[in-house]
Structure 1
Amino acid sequence: MLDLVTLRRDFHMHPEVGFTEFRTATKVVEILTSLGFEVIYGQDAMDGDSRRGLPSEAVLEKAYERALRDGANPAIVEKMRGGYTAVIGVKKGKSAGPTVAFRFDMDALPVLESKDGDHFPQANGFRSHYEGNMHACAHDGHTTIGLGLAEKLADGDFSGTIKLIFQPAEEGVRGAYSIVQKGIVDDVDYIFCHHLGVGVPLGEIHGGSHGFLATTKMLAHFHGVSSHAGASPEQGKNALLGAATALLNIHAIPRFSTGSTRINVGVLEGGTAANIIPAYAKMVVETRSVSEEVNAELEQRVRNIIAHSAAMHELEHEIEVVGGAIPINYDVDMAELALEEAKQVEGFHSFVNGAYNAMGSEDASFLIKRVQDRGGKGTYMSIGTDIPAPHHHQKFDIQEEILPRSVELLNRIARRLLT
């Protein structure tokens, strides 16, 4: 029987950021295989061209080598090389029936974990071994819950099919889209996604969550010509100046009467020295809105501004989409079903059907929307756990007692639909 606490702490000690979850994903493959699941991973689980915000080849290779040093099975991890870290576990029941999917994100964050004595992982010996990376958003718990659920369903004593989706690169809303594009959820009738914490206290559960924003994350490159800033400034084409022009105009885009919006330029980099006209600059910008249509309009305006700002300064430019999400519209009857089952699990005492979730954006939205577009249903649940610090904070942590409770809840949901 899996020891959920030990498993979660192992994942916590080895946090891997998006598309570099080589060790984590390998462990998931090994456990699912041992439980008799059909396991789909590597390029069979993701559409490579649809991955967004993929790290550089050098970063991917460094993480790959680290995973091997830290015990990743060489035969398994080889198939994930290059950032193909999604894992899908499939278990067919004893007879025909619907297909029910659950999503579990695996990636960590580039956060330096606290060494303070009052930080529970530090005090109990399972602080991150990878300095500068940390599970600061409960994905170590999510992955553990997914494997605990796999163990509960390993007997195959149900009618239908279970599909467990272990997703890379949720942070930056980058990983789910490639799984959708691969067709992984095209046969799914019901899908359940969840998050621990998110401002919900221990003992409370929200069967459905709304308020997630549509978003597009873009990386813009500006290419100019370097020149001596004193001797021949007129011969240069200032890429940083073009990017700065774009920044100011992007933040001048007006608000919309048809839906609230957010715009942010989070990164602006360029130049090498005070006396050199910058030949290159890059900008990372995001748009967000409660409306998918308004977000699309915002994105187009940002693209226009970048193009015209580059043209003003005689620069070349290109734009990459490095992340994205759409709003989540959960099915009320699925939220109600989740709450009905939660009422049968010891420890849950507060039940909310639908609640506003101010997390920002979630790329589980693509998975849920794809299932709904093909006639299925889905919901996104918030499962409470008290946290000592906000998500993405260096002292973030979860209450480990929520792990078996969540496994039992998801097991009940699955068997309810697969009777």
Structure 2
Amino acid sequence: MSIINIRKCNKHKTVLQICMEYNTLLTPFCHRLGERGGSSLSLCSLMFDSNIVITSMVDDKGIKMVHRIETIVNDLSKRILTYRRDFHRYAETGWIEVRTASLIARRLDQLGYEVRVGASVLKASERMGLPDPETLEMHYLRALEQGADPEYAELVKNGFTAVVGIIKNGDGPVRAARFDIDAVQVQESNDPGHFPFTEGFASVNPNMMHACGHDAHAAIGLGVAETLATLKHELHGTVKLIFQPAEEGVRGAKAMAASGIVDDVDYMIGGHIGIVPHACGKVSFRLAGFLATTKIDVYYEGKSSHAAGAPERGKNALLAAVTATANIHSISAHSKGKSMVNVGCLNAGTGRNVIPATAFMSLETRGSTSEINEYVKERVLRIVDAAAKMYEVQKKIVFMGASETAVGNQDFIEYAEKIVAENRHIKAIVSEPILLAGSEDYTYFMKAVQRRGGKALFMLYGTDMKETHHNSAFDIDERSLPIAVTTISWLLLSLNNGMRTVV
């Protein structure tokens, strides 16, 4: 993996002087959150590459602004940590993030943001994978018991857990940053070596855990909100902070994008913590692309009958599902890129002497492009239909989630790399594209912005992890939180005049 080592161009200082200065400023910043068994982040560990130079786009005024942001975030670091641990303790999965969304909305309100929630920023008909009404109501009541804001909880219940905070100051570009807030269906580890457990903030909600870092994303988003509120008079234009529900299973972004909330956005930023290994202080804007995907549930309904006494009267839903599964896994690969399909769950039948009347299949398709994913999906649907006709059963198809492929704008990526290099807490910028094996529904925001002439990118902010994402012992290095807040806040403010001159 190639790394761009940040080499500051300053005719008045040697590289060593700059390095020593940055390390002096960085050390208390990192230690403010406390050490957790690792060495402190230090810019003195950098090996400066004389062949790679990131030319500064920032004048003295801009550099002073970066320093102000660093000071503000340094003062906020304990609060950001508190946000993260609170969200982690009360983890909520997709569409039931009532407590999380209500508290985010209330804090944005307190900070002076224009707050939009629920149906005003989310098109109800485009929601996918929504829990049943009883489940939604149960988790709404639980959220109230666990400290949700009652006023905002009422507005985001029943699967409307989307929040947007808007801050404006005069004329200028419209910018947006997206932060996903949902947890994963994982039971959190109670191993003594698991930091959230030993520190008392492991999830109290069964089979719900922030095992993908979205608690950190929500905390980073609020940290950015606090920073921009403090610097509101330095802002030119508008910033929208988008807190998205139901990213897991790629279910939530499509509905928010369809509401039109990003239709006026000139610059869009998304991101994810982790991915870059052993990487507290590293960032990357260069991704090899997300896989397009479709998540599908299939229900077959036939007719039960005695398997020996009257088999001809039955309509076998199990055989329809098995036939469909075998043929789905025989779909030809595509010559123009990677394609995948997987039937991950198959349930049917009630007894050995009963013709199965019902069957359920849960499957997904993926493609390296949206076109390839569509190719696989169309063939899946054709096979599902043919199997139903073959065994004379009824079928029901439910689309549970989806995302497209999208690529960040190259000029925006190059701009971001130059801007972020001014953040003294960035250890390195990864220059080689990182291949992501999964999907991200942030791509709906990207494409909505790009279709209207705007620019978008997706960044990875590194952290050190003991276990991989979606593992019951997943955790992050909390020192990465203020680094991400500083980076995103600075990038948003730097766009006061678009991608021309900074601040």
1:249 pairs with 300, 323, 327, which one? 327
Indicate if the aligned counterparts of 2:281 and 2:483 stay in contact, CA closer than 8 A.
no
Equivalent residues in 2 for 1:375-414 (5 A)? Answer: 375-414=453-492
Q: 8-17 or 73-82: which moved more?
A: 73-82
Q: 271-280 or 173-182: which moved more?
A: 271-280
Distance apart, 1:269 and its partner CA: 1.3
Match of 2:80 in 1: 4
User: Deviations along 1:224-246, whole A, 9 cap, x unmatched?
Assistant: 11112232222111111101110
Indicate if the aligned counterparts of 2:257 and 2:445 stay in contact, CA closer than 8 A.
yes
Q: Which has the larger radius of gyration?
A: 2
Equivalent residues in 2 for 1:14-413 (5 A)? Answer: 14-93=90-169, 95-155=170-230, 156-157=232-233, 158-200=235-277, 201-353=279-431, 355-413=433-491
Amino acid at match of 1:134: M
TM (norm. structure 2) is: 0.81
Indicate if the aligned counterparts of 2:182 and 2:247 stay in contact, CA closer than 8 A.
yes
Indicate if the aligned counterparts of 1:21 and 1:168 stay in contact, CA closer than 8 A.
yes
1:154 counterpart SS class:
helix
Structure 2: which 5+ residue stretches go unaligned?
Answer: 1-75, 497-502
Indicate if the aligned counterparts of 1:210 and 1:354 stay in contact, CA closer than 8 A.
no
Q: Distance in 1 between matches of 2:92 and 2:328?
A: 33
Amino acid at match of 2:118: G
1:3 counterpart SS class:
helix
Amino acid at match of 2:240: K
Q: 29-38 or 229-238: which moved more?
A: 229-238
Amino acid at match of 2:80: L
Q: Distance in 2 between matches of 1:341 and 1:13?
A: 35
Match of 1:415 in 2: 493
Q: 171-180 or 68-77: which moved more?
A: 68-77
List 4+ stretches of structure 1 deviating above 3 A: none
Structure 1: which 5+ residue stretches go unaligned?
Answer: none
Q: 388-397 or 263-272: which moved more?
A: 263-272
Q: Distance in 2 between matches of 1:124 and 1:59?
A: 30
Distance apart, 1:185 and its partner CA: 0.5
Amino acid at match of 1:278: P
Distance apart, 1:282 and its partner CA: 1.4
Amino acid at match of 1:144: A
Q: Distance in 2 between matches of 1:253 and 1:339?
A: 41
Distance apart, 1:354 and its partner CA: 5.4
Amino acid at match of 1:153: L
Q: Distance in 2 between matches of 1:236 and 1:312?
A: 13
Distance apart, 1:65 and its partner CA: 1.0
Aligned sequence identity (%): 43
